[in-house]
Amino acid sequence: MINEEALGWVIRTRDPEFQDWEAFTLWLEANPAHAPAYDALMAADSDLDNIVPEEPVIMPVAANDRGPRRPLRWIAGGAVAAALVGVISVGLLNRSNIYSVTTRPGETRTIALDDGTRVELNGGTTMRFDRKDARFAALDAGEAAFTVRHDAANPFRVTVGDAVFEDAGTVFNIVHTKDATHIGVSEGKVVYNPDAEAIALPAGRALSDDAQGLRLMDVAPGAVASWRQGRLVYANASIADISQDIGRSLGVTLTAAPGARAMRFTGTIRLDRDPARFFAQAAPLMGLTAVRQGDGWLLKEGPAKEGDGPQN
Amino acid sequence: MATGLSAIFMTNRAALLRFLRARGAGEDAEDLLQDMWMKLEAKDLGPVTDPLPYLYRMANNLMLDRYRSSSRRERREQDWAEGAGGVMADPSEDIGVDERMILNQRLNEARAVLRDLGPRVELVFRRFRIEGVGQRLIAEELGVSLTTVEKDLQKAYRAMLLLKQKIDTE
Protein backbone atom coordinates (compact mmCIF):
# COMPACT_ATOMS: atom_id res chain seq x y z
CA MET A 1 0.00 0.00 0.00
CA ILE A 2 1.17 3.47 -0.81
CA ASN A 3 0.37 6.28 1.56
CA GLU A 4 -1.17 8.80 -0.86
CA GLU A 5 -0.68 11.80 1.40
CA ALA A 6 2.94 10.96 2.00
CA LEU A 7 3.42 10.44 -1.74
CA GLY A 8 1.99 13.90 -2.34
CA TRP A 9 4.60 15.36 0.01
CA VAL A 10 7.39 13.33 -1.59
CA ILE A 11 6.50 14.83 -4.95
CA ARG A 12 6.07 18.33 -3.57
CA THR A 13 9.30 18.41 -1.57
CA ARG A 14 11.25 16.89 -4.47
CA ASP A 15 10.28 19.86 -6.61
CA PRO A 16 13.26 22.23 -6.85
CA GLU A 17 10.88 25.16 -6.38
CA PHE A 18 9.19 23.83 -3.24
CA GLN A 19 8.75 26.60 -0.66
CA ASP A 20 6.02 25.68 1.79
CA TRP A 21 8.05 23.92 4.48
CA GLU A 22 5.77 25.30 7.19
CA ALA A 23 2.82 23.40 5.74
CA PHE A 24 4.98 20.30 5.51
CA THR A 25 5.92 20.74 9.19
CA LEU A 26 2.24 20.96 10.13
CA TRP A 27 1.45 17.79 8.21
CA LEU A 28 4.32 15.97 9.95
CA GLU A 29 3.15 17.18 13.35
CA ALA A 30 -0.42 16.07 12.71
CA ASN A 31 0.49 12.41 13.14
CA PRO A 32 3.72 10.77 14.32
CA ALA A 33 3.23 8.11 11.62
CA HIS A 34 3.62 10.71 8.89
CA ALA A 35 7.40 11.15 9.16
CA PRO A 36 8.21 7.40 8.86
CA ALA A 37 5.77 7.07 5.94
CA TYR A 38 7.47 9.99 4.21
CA ASP A 39 10.95 8.57 4.91
CA ALA A 40 9.99 5.17 3.56
CA LEU A 41 8.63 6.65 0.34
CA MET A 42 11.62 8.97 -0.10
CA ALA A 43 13.90 5.94 0.24
CA ALA A 44 11.80 4.05 -2.30
CA ASP A 45 11.97 7.09 -4.56
CA SER A 46 15.75 7.17 -4.45
CA ASP A 47 15.81 3.43 -5.24
CA LEU A 48 13.92 4.20 -8.43
CA ASP A 49 17.26 5.35 -9.87
CA ASN A 50 18.12 1.67 -10.31
CA ILE A 51 15.06 0.77 -12.30
CA VAL A 52 14.11 3.84 -14.31
CA PRO A 53 15.70 3.67 -17.75
CA GLU A 54 17.41 6.93 -18.43
CA GLU A 55 17.39 6.99 -22.19
CA PRO A 56 14.74 9.13 -23.77
CA VAL A 57 12.50 7.23 -26.16
CA ILE A 58 10.75 8.17 -29.34
CA MET A 59 7.27 9.00 -28.38
CA PRO A 60 4.31 10.18 -30.39
CA VAL A 61 2.66 12.99 -28.53
CA ALA A 62 -1.07 13.06 -28.18
CA ALA A 63 -3.00 15.78 -29.90
CA ASN A 64 -3.30 18.74 -27.65
CA ASP A 65 -5.76 21.56 -27.20
CA ARG A 66 -5.71 24.11 -29.90
CA GLY A 67 -3.87 27.13 -28.77
CA PRO A 68 -0.92 29.30 -29.54
CA ARG A 69 2.15 27.38 -30.60
CA ARG A 70 4.44 27.58 -27.66
CA PRO A 71 8.12 28.20 -28.06
CA LEU A 72 9.49 24.78 -27.29
CA ARG A 73 12.13 25.92 -24.89
CA TRP A 74 12.27 22.58 -23.20
CA ILE A 75 13.48 20.87 -26.34
CA ALA A 76 16.83 22.50 -25.83
CA GLY A 77 17.02 21.06 -22.33
CA GLY A 78 15.83 17.72 -23.57
CA ALA A 79 18.47 17.80 -26.24
CA VAL A 80 21.19 18.24 -23.68
CA ALA A 81 19.95 15.24 -21.75
CA ALA A 82 19.62 13.27 -24.96
CA ALA A 83 23.12 14.18 -25.98
CA LEU A 84 24.39 12.69 -22.74
CA VAL A 85 22.72 9.35 -23.09
CA GLY A 86 21.89 8.76 -26.70
CA VAL A 87 20.58 10.27 -29.84
CA ILE A 88 16.85 10.45 -29.96
CA SER A 89 14.92 12.72 -27.69
CA VAL A 90 11.28 13.32 -27.34
CA GLY A 91 9.46 16.00 -29.20
CA LEU A 92 6.13 17.58 -28.90
CA LEU A 93 4.18 20.15 -30.78
CA ASN A 94 0.50 20.92 -30.68
CA ARG A 95 -1.72 18.88 -32.94
CA SER A 96 1.02 16.90 -34.59
CA ASN A 97 3.43 14.06 -34.27
CA ILE A 98 6.67 15.85 -33.76
CA TYR A 99 9.78 14.06 -32.65
CA SER A 100 13.26 15.35 -32.34
CA VAL A 101 16.63 13.90 -33.21
CA THR A 102 19.88 14.99 -31.59
CA THR A 103 23.43 14.08 -32.51
CA ARG A 104 26.35 14.41 -30.16
CA PRO A 105 29.31 16.51 -31.26
CA GLY A 106 31.39 14.41 -33.63
CA GLU A 107 28.50 12.08 -34.42
CA THR A 108 26.61 12.16 -37.73
CA ARG A 109 23.29 10.65 -38.59
CA THR A 110 21.11 10.30 -41.67
CA ILE A 111 17.35 10.53 -41.52
CA ALA A 112 15.37 9.21 -44.46
CA LEU A 113 11.94 10.76 -44.63
CA ASP A 114 8.95 8.94 -46.10
CA ASP A 115 8.82 11.09 -49.20
CA GLY A 116 12.34 10.13 -50.29
CA THR A 117 13.98 13.21 -48.83
CA ARG A 118 17.26 12.60 -47.02
CA VAL A 119 18.52 14.73 -44.17
CA GLU A 120 22.09 14.30 -42.95
CA LEU A 121 22.80 15.70 -39.50
CA ASN A 122 26.30 16.81 -38.62
CA GLY A 123 27.48 16.55 -35.00
CA GLY A 124 25.99 18.67 -32.21
CA THR A 125 22.70 19.08 -34.04
CA THR A 126 19.08 19.04 -32.92
CA MET A 127 16.23 18.74 -35.40
CA ARG A 128 12.54 18.13 -35.25
CA PHE A 129 10.48 16.16 -37.75
CA ASP A 130 6.83 15.33 -38.08
CA ARG A 131 5.80 11.71 -38.31
CA LYS A 132 2.64 12.72 -40.12
CA ASP A 133 4.16 15.30 -42.43
CA ALA A 134 7.35 14.33 -44.25
CA ARG A 135 7.56 17.81 -45.78
CA PHE A 136 8.29 19.45 -42.44
CA ALA A 137 11.62 19.80 -40.68
CA ALA A 138 12.97 22.23 -38.12
CA LEU A 139 16.65 22.83 -37.47
CA ASP A 140 16.88 23.97 -33.85
CA ALA A 141 20.66 24.01 -33.59
CA GLY A 142 23.62 22.71 -35.53
CA GLU A 143 24.09 21.77 -39.15
CA ALA A 144 22.28 19.56 -41.63
CA ALA A 145 22.41 18.79 -45.33
CA PHE A 146 19.15 18.27 -47.20
CA THR A 147 18.63 16.26 -50.36
CA VAL A 148 15.02 16.95 -51.13
CA ARG A 149 12.68 15.14 -53.46
CA HIS A 150 10.93 18.02 -55.11
CA ASP A 151 7.18 18.33 -55.24
CA ALA A 152 5.99 21.70 -56.50
CA ALA A 153 2.48 21.08 -55.15
CA ASN A 154 3.77 20.28 -51.67
CA PRO A 155 7.11 21.92 -51.13
CA PHE A 156 9.55 20.80 -48.46
CA ARG A 157 10.01 23.44 -45.81
CA VAL A 158 12.70 23.80 -43.15
CA THR A 159 12.03 26.07 -40.20
CA VAL A 160 15.16 27.63 -38.75
CA GLY A 161 14.49 29.95 -35.85
CA ASP A 162 12.07 32.49 -37.26
CA ALA A 163 13.02 31.82 -40.87
CA VAL A 164 11.64 29.29 -43.32
CA PHE A 165 13.49 27.79 -46.26
CA GLU A 166 11.40 26.23 -49.00
CA ASP A 167 12.94 23.89 -51.49
CA ALA A 168 12.48 24.03 -55.22
CA GLY A 169 14.21 20.73 -56.11
CA THR A 170 17.28 20.90 -54.05
CA VAL A 171 20.41 19.87 -52.25
CA PHE A 172 21.29 22.39 -49.59
CA ASN A 173 23.04 22.76 -46.25
CA ILE A 174 22.01 24.84 -43.25
CA VAL A 175 24.08 25.84 -40.24
CA HIS A 176 22.18 27.29 -37.31
CA THR A 177 24.00 28.58 -34.23
CA LYS A 178 22.71 30.84 -31.53
CA ASP A 179 23.87 33.97 -33.36
CA ALA A 180 23.69 33.06 -37.02
CA THR A 181 21.99 31.07 -39.74
CA HIS A 182 23.84 30.16 -42.90
CA ILE A 183 22.49 28.30 -45.90
CA GLY A 184 24.39 27.13 -48.98
CA VAL A 185 22.67 25.68 -52.03
CA SER A 186 24.45 23.13 -54.20
CA GLU A 187 21.66 21.98 -56.53
CA GLY A 188 18.28 23.32 -57.57
CA LYS A 189 16.84 26.29 -55.74
CA VAL A 190 15.74 27.28 -52.25
CA VAL A 191 13.40 30.13 -51.38
CA TYR A 192 14.12 32.02 -48.16
CA ASN A 193 10.98 33.04 -46.27
CA PRO A 194 8.62 32.40 -49.20
CA ASP A 195 5.81 34.30 -47.49
CA ALA A 196 7.88 37.40 -46.73
CA GLU A 197 11.18 38.33 -48.34
CA ALA A 198 10.94 35.40 -50.77
CA ILE A 199 14.60 35.51 -51.71
CA ALA A 200 15.43 32.87 -54.32
CA LEU A 201 18.74 31.09 -53.80
CA PRO A 202 19.85 29.13 -56.85
CA ALA A 203 22.68 26.61 -56.78
CA GLY A 204 25.96 28.33 -56.00
CA ARG A 205 24.35 30.99 -53.80
CA ALA A 206 24.49 31.27 -50.05
CA LEU A 207 22.67 33.39 -47.49
CA SER A 208 23.81 34.44 -44.04
CA ASP A 209 21.67 35.95 -41.33
CA ASP A 210 23.60 37.18 -38.33
CA ALA A 211 24.27 40.26 -36.23
CA GLN A 212 25.18 42.18 -39.40
CA GLY A 213 21.83 41.34 -41.01
CA LEU A 214 21.02 39.39 -44.15
CA ARG A 215 23.81 38.85 -46.66
CA LEU A 216 23.88 36.99 -49.95
CA MET A 217 27.09 35.53 -51.36
CA ASP A 218 28.44 33.02 -53.81
CA VAL A 219 29.48 29.55 -52.77
CA ALA A 220 31.09 26.75 -54.76
CA PRO A 221 28.29 24.16 -55.16
CA GLY A 222 30.81 21.38 -54.48
CA ALA A 223 31.74 23.03 -51.20
CA VAL A 224 28.20 22.90 -49.81
CA ALA A 225 27.87 20.28 -47.08
CA SER A 226 31.43 19.19 -47.73
CA TRP A 227 31.56 17.94 -44.12
CA ARG A 228 29.84 14.84 -45.45
CA GLN A 229 33.02 14.07 -47.38
CA GLY A 230 35.22 14.85 -44.40
CA ARG A 231 36.21 18.28 -45.69
CA LEU A 232 35.34 21.82 -44.72
CA VAL A 233 35.51 24.27 -47.63
CA TYR A 234 35.58 28.01 -47.04
CA ALA A 235 35.67 31.21 -49.02
CA ASN A 236 36.54 34.17 -46.82
CA ALA A 237 34.87 32.72 -43.73
CA SER A 238 35.58 34.02 -40.22
CA ILE A 239 37.58 31.86 -37.83
CA ALA A 240 34.72 32.32 -35.35
CA ASP A 241 32.37 30.44 -37.73
CA ILE A 242 35.02 27.92 -38.76
CA SER A 243 35.84 27.00 -35.18
CA GLN A 244 32.14 26.26 -34.54
CA ASP A 245 32.08 24.00 -37.63
CA ILE A 246 35.19 22.18 -36.44
CA GLY A 247 33.81 21.72 -32.94
CA ARG A 248 30.58 20.29 -34.33
CA SER A 249 32.29 17.98 -36.84
CA LEU A 250 35.02 16.62 -34.60
CA GLY A 251 33.23 16.68 -31.28
CA VAL A 252 35.87 18.79 -29.57
CA THR A 253 35.42 21.88 -27.45
CA LEU A 254 37.09 24.60 -29.41
CA THR A 255 37.48 28.26 -28.54
CA ALA A 256 39.05 30.93 -30.68
CA ALA A 257 41.03 33.71 -29.00
CA PRO A 258 39.58 37.18 -29.67
CA GLY A 259 42.40 38.05 -32.06
CA ALA A 260 41.85 34.87 -34.02
CA ARG A 261 38.05 35.11 -34.19
CA ALA A 262 38.10 38.07 -36.53
CA MET A 263 40.57 36.50 -38.97
CA ARG A 264 39.27 35.04 -42.22
CA PHE A 265 40.17 31.95 -44.16
CA THR A 266 39.74 30.69 -47.71
CA GLY A 267 40.55 27.09 -48.50
CA THR A 268 39.84 23.47 -47.69
CA ILE A 269 40.42 21.82 -44.34
CA ARG A 270 40.53 18.05 -44.19
CA LEU A 271 38.82 16.64 -41.12
CA ASP A 272 40.64 14.10 -39.02
CA ARG A 273 39.23 12.09 -36.14
CA ASP A 274 42.41 12.58 -34.12
CA PRO A 275 42.24 16.17 -32.83
CA ALA A 276 46.02 16.47 -32.26
CA ARG A 277 46.77 15.36 -35.81
CA PHE A 278 43.96 17.50 -37.20
CA PHE A 279 45.09 20.71 -35.51
CA ALA A 280 48.74 20.08 -36.38
CA GLN A 281 47.71 20.13 -40.03
CA ALA A 282 44.80 22.59 -40.02
CA ALA A 283 45.94 25.36 -37.65
CA PRO A 284 49.04 26.41 -39.68
CA LEU A 285 46.87 26.35 -42.81
CA MET A 286 44.69 29.04 -41.26
CA GLY A 287 47.69 30.96 -39.95
CA LEU A 288 46.86 29.94 -36.41
CA THR A 289 48.20 27.89 -33.54
CA ALA A 290 46.15 25.33 -31.67
CA VAL A 291 46.92 24.59 -28.06
CA ARG A 292 45.31 22.05 -25.79
CA GLN A 293 43.33 23.72 -23.04
CA GLY A 294 41.84 21.44 -20.40
CA ASP A 295 39.49 19.11 -22.24
CA GLY A 296 39.35 21.32 -25.31
CA TRP A 297 41.44 23.32 -27.70
CA LEU A 298 42.22 26.99 -28.15
CA LEU A 299 42.96 28.63 -31.51
CA LYS A 300 45.41 31.53 -31.29
CA GLU A 301 46.82 33.96 -33.78
CA GLY A 302 50.20 33.40 -35.34
CA PRO A 303 52.52 30.47 -36.00
CA ALA A 304 53.47 27.95 -33.35
CA LYS A 305 56.32 28.82 -31.02
CA GLU A 306 58.72 26.17 -29.83
CA GLY A 307 56.97 23.77 -27.50
CA ASP A 308 53.72 25.61 -27.90
CA GLY A 309 51.97 23.69 -30.62
CA PRO A 310 50.43 20.25 -30.43
CA GLN A 311 53.00 17.56 -29.97
CA ASN A 312 52.80 14.45 -32.07
CA MET B 1 29.84 32.60 6.41
CA ALA B 2 29.66 35.93 4.70
CA THR B 3 26.23 35.41 3.15
CA GLY B 4 22.89 36.23 4.69
CA LEU B 5 22.42 32.54 5.46
CA SER B 6 23.70 32.86 9.02
CA ALA B 7 21.24 35.62 9.80
CA ILE B 8 18.41 33.64 8.22
CA PHE B 9 19.50 30.56 10.15
CA MET B 10 19.46 32.42 13.48
CA THR B 11 16.11 34.10 12.79
CA ASN B 12 14.49 30.80 11.88
CA ARG B 13 16.28 28.60 14.38
CA ALA B 14 13.08 27.80 16.25
CA ALA B 15 11.14 26.94 13.10
CA LEU B 16 13.95 24.69 11.86
CA LEU B 17 14.13 22.96 15.25
CA ARG B 18 10.39 22.41 15.17
CA PHE B 19 10.71 20.99 11.66
CA LEU B 20 13.49 18.58 12.68
CA ARG B 21 11.40 17.38 15.64
CA ALA B 22 8.35 16.89 13.43
CA ARG B 23 10.57 15.05 10.96
CA GLY B 24 11.32 12.51 13.70
CA ALA B 25 14.66 13.71 15.02
CA GLY B 26 13.42 13.61 18.62
CA GLU B 27 16.14 14.39 21.18
CA ASP B 28 18.73 14.68 18.42
CA ALA B 29 17.04 17.72 16.87
CA GLU B 30 19.33 20.19 18.70
CA ASP B 31 22.44 18.25 17.69
CA LEU B 32 21.33 18.10 14.08
CA LEU B 33 20.76 21.82 14.09
CA GLN B 34 24.26 22.25 15.46
CA ASP B 35 25.60 20.03 12.63
CA MET B 36 23.83 22.23 10.14
CA TRP B 37 25.40 25.30 11.65
CA MET B 38 28.86 23.73 11.45
CA LYS B 39 28.29 22.79 7.86
CA LEU B 40 27.20 26.31 7.01
CA GLU B 41 30.27 27.71 8.76
CA ALA B 42 32.65 25.32 7.03
CA LYS B 43 31.36 25.92 3.54
CA ASP B 44 31.58 29.38 2.10
CA LEU B 45 28.37 29.25 0.15
CA GLY B 46 27.78 31.89 -2.44
CA PRO B 47 24.57 33.87 -2.34
CA VAL B 48 21.56 31.56 -2.19
CA THR B 49 18.40 32.69 -3.97
CA ASP B 50 15.90 31.35 -1.46
CA PRO B 51 17.81 31.05 1.81
CA LEU B 52 15.02 29.73 4.03
CA PRO B 53 13.81 26.94 1.70
CA TYR B 54 17.50 26.14 1.23
CA LEU B 55 17.95 25.66 4.98
CA TYR B 56 14.81 23.55 5.26
CA ARG B 57 15.99 21.37 2.40
CA MET B 58 19.32 20.95 4.10
CA ALA B 59 17.57 19.84 7.29
CA ASN B 60 15.35 17.48 5.34
CA ASN B 61 18.37 15.94 3.61
CA LEU B 62 20.04 15.38 6.99
CA MET B 63 17.00 13.42 8.09
CA LEU B 64 16.92 11.42 4.85
CA ASP B 65 20.61 10.51 5.29
CA ARG B 66 19.89 9.45 8.84
CA TYR B 67 17.00 7.26 7.76
CA ARG B 68 19.08 5.68 5.00
CA SER B 69 22.06 4.89 7.18
CA SER B 70 19.90 3.47 9.95
CA SER B 71 17.98 1.22 7.56
CA ARG B 72 21.27 0.08 6.01
CA ARG B 73 22.56 -0.77 9.48
CA GLU B 74 19.39 -2.67 10.32
CA ARG B 75 19.69 -4.63 7.10
CA ARG B 76 23.29 -5.47 7.88
CA GLU B 77 22.45 -6.59 11.38
CA GLN B 78 19.61 -8.67 10.07
CA ASP B 79 21.84 -10.29 7.43
CA TRP B 80 24.31 -11.03 10.17
CA ALA B 81 21.66 -12.59 12.39
CA GLU B 82 20.46 -14.73 9.50
CA GLY B 83 23.98 -15.99 9.01
CA ALA B 84 24.57 -14.36 5.69
CA GLY B 85 28.29 -14.50 6.40
CA GLY B 86 30.99 -12.22 7.62
CA VAL B 87 31.80 -10.40 4.42
CA MET B 88 29.68 -7.35 3.96
CA ALA B 89 30.32 -6.60 0.34
CA ASP B 90 28.71 -3.52 -1.11
CA PRO B 91 26.06 -4.93 -3.42
CA SER B 92 26.63 -2.17 -5.94
CA GLU B 93 30.15 -3.38 -6.65
CA ASP B 94 31.02 -6.22 -8.93
CA ILE B 95 27.80 -7.00 -10.69
CA GLY B 96 27.74 -10.51 -12.03
CA VAL B 97 26.32 -11.62 -15.36
CA ASP B 98 23.16 -13.04 -13.83
CA GLU B 99 22.54 -9.90 -11.90
CA ARG B 100 23.10 -7.80 -14.98
CA MET B 101 20.46 -9.83 -16.79
CA ILE B 102 18.06 -9.25 -13.96
CA LEU B 103 18.85 -5.53 -14.02
CA ASN B 104 18.16 -5.38 -17.75
CA GLN B 105 14.94 -7.23 -17.27
CA ARG B 106 13.92 -4.71 -14.61
CA LEU B 107 14.73 -1.82 -16.89
CA ASN B 108 12.54 -3.38 -19.55
CA GLU B 109 9.74 -3.82 -17.06
CA ALA B 110 10.06 -0.18 -16.01
CA ARG B 111 10.06 0.89 -19.64
CA ALA B 112 6.84 -1.02 -20.24
CA VAL B 113 5.20 0.45 -17.14
CA LEU B 114 6.12 3.97 -18.20
CA ARG B 115 4.95 3.36 -21.75
CA ASP B 116 1.60 2.10 -20.56
CA LEU B 117 1.03 5.33 -18.67
CA GLY B 118 0.84 7.23 -21.94
CA PRO B 119 3.26 9.65 -23.51
CA ARG B 120 2.39 12.75 -21.52
CA VAL B 121 2.62 11.05 -18.14
CA GLU B 122 5.92 9.45 -19.12
CA LEU B 123 7.28 12.75 -20.37
CA VAL B 124 6.22 14.57 -17.19
CA PHE B 125 7.75 11.88 -14.99
CA ARG B 126 11.04 11.88 -16.89
CA ARG B 127 11.30 15.65 -16.82
CA PHE B 128 10.60 15.74 -13.10
CA ARG B 129 12.32 12.64 -11.78
CA ILE B 130 15.28 12.21 -14.13
CA GLU B 131 16.00 15.73 -15.30
CA GLY B 132 14.96 17.45 -12.08
CA VAL B 133 12.71 20.05 -13.66
CA GLY B 134 10.07 21.68 -11.46
CA GLN B 135 6.36 21.09 -11.98
CA ARG B 136 5.52 24.71 -12.77
CA LEU B 137 8.05 24.74 -15.61
CA ILE B 138 6.87 21.41 -16.97
CA ALA B 139 3.28 22.70 -17.01
CA GLU B 140 4.41 25.77 -18.94
CA GLU B 141 6.36 23.73 -21.44
CA LEU B 142 3.49 21.40 -22.15
CA GLY B 143 0.83 24.08 -22.04
CA VAL B 144 -1.19 22.18 -19.43
CA SER B 145 -2.32 23.16 -15.94
CA LEU B 146 -0.21 22.60 -12.86
CA THR B 147 -2.92 20.27 -11.54
CA THR B 148 -2.56 18.08 -14.63
CA VAL B 149 1.18 17.81 -14.05
CA GLU B 150 0.61 16.96 -10.37
CA LYS B 151 -1.89 14.24 -11.28
CA ASP B 152 0.41 12.84 -13.97
CA LEU B 153 3.26 12.67 -11.48
CA GLN B 154 1.17 10.93 -8.86
CA LYS B 155 0.02 8.40 -11.43
CA ALA B 156 3.57 7.74 -12.60
CA TYR B 157 4.93 7.53 -9.07
CA ARG B 158 2.24 5.12 -7.97
CA ALA B 159 2.97 2.83 -10.92
CA MET B 160 6.73 2.98 -10.45
CA LEU B 161 6.55 2.42 -6.68
CA LEU B 162 4.26 -0.57 -7.19
CA LEU B 163 6.75 -1.96 -9.67
CA LYS B 164 9.50 -1.44 -7.13
CA GLN B 165 7.51 -3.25 -4.46
CA LYS B 166 6.90 -6.10 -6.86
CA ILE B 167 10.62 -6.32 -7.64
CA ASP B 168 11.52 -6.19 -3.94
CA THR B 169 9.26 -9.11 -3.10
CA GLU B 170 10.46 -11.25 -6.00
What is the ipTM, given to two decimal places? 0.84
> Residue A60 pLDDT > 50, yes or no?
no
- Comparing B47 with A90, the larger pLDDT belongs to B47
Backbone angles phi, psi at A9, to 5 degrees: -70, -35
**A272-306 residue pLDDT tens:** 878 888 888 888 888 888 888 888 889 888 775 54
C-beta separation of B131 from A77 below 8 A: yes
CB contact under 8 A, A15 and B134: yes
- Which segments of chain A does DSSP mark as H helices, in order? 4-14, 21-30, 34-47, 73-85, 239-250, 258-261, 275-285
Q: Over chain A, what is the mean pLDDT? A: 76
Output the CA–CA distances (angstroms, integers) from residue A161 to A122, A164, B61, in the order listed: 18, 8, 42
Rounded to whole angstroms, the Cα distance separating A18 from B128 reads: 13
Backbone angles phi, psi at A8, to 5 degrees: -55, -45
- Comparing B135 with B91, the larger pLDDT belongs to B135
pLDDT band at A6 (very low <50, low <70, confident <90, very high): very high
**B142-162 residue pLDDT tens:** 788 999 999 999 999 999 999
pLDDT band at B77 (very low <50, low <70, confident <90, very high): low
Q: Which residues of B touch A96 (CB under 8 A)?
A: none
Which residues of chain B from 29 to 68 reach within 8 Å of chain A, CB to CB? 50, 52-53, 56-57, 60, 63-64, 67-68
pLDDT at position A32 is 92
Q: How far A285 CA sits from the closest chain B CA (Å)?
A: 43
CB contact under 8 A, B131 and A43: no
- Comparing A271 with B146, the larger pLDDT belongs to B146
Question: Which amino acid does the sequence have at A228?
Answer: R
pLDDT at position A38 is 95
pLDDT band at A230 (very low <50, low <70, confident <90, very high): confident
> Residue A238 pLDDT > 70, yes or no?
yes
How many interchain CB pairs under 8 A, A with B? Answer: 136
Secondary element (H or E) of residue A164: strand A163-167
pLDDT at position A211 is 74
pLDDT at position B47 is 66
pLDDT at position A59 is 32
Q: Highest mean pLDDT: which of A144-153, A284-293, B96-105, B143-152?
A: B143-152
**A17-54 residue pLDDT tens:** 899 999 999 999 999 999 999 999 999 998 887 777 66
**Percent of chain B surpassing pLDDT 90:** 31
Question: Which amino acid does the sequence have at A69?
Answer: R
pLDDT at position A66 is 30
pLDDT at position B46 is 64
Out of A26-35, A91-100, A106-115, A141-150, which region has the weakest mean confidence (pLDDT)?
Answer: A91-100
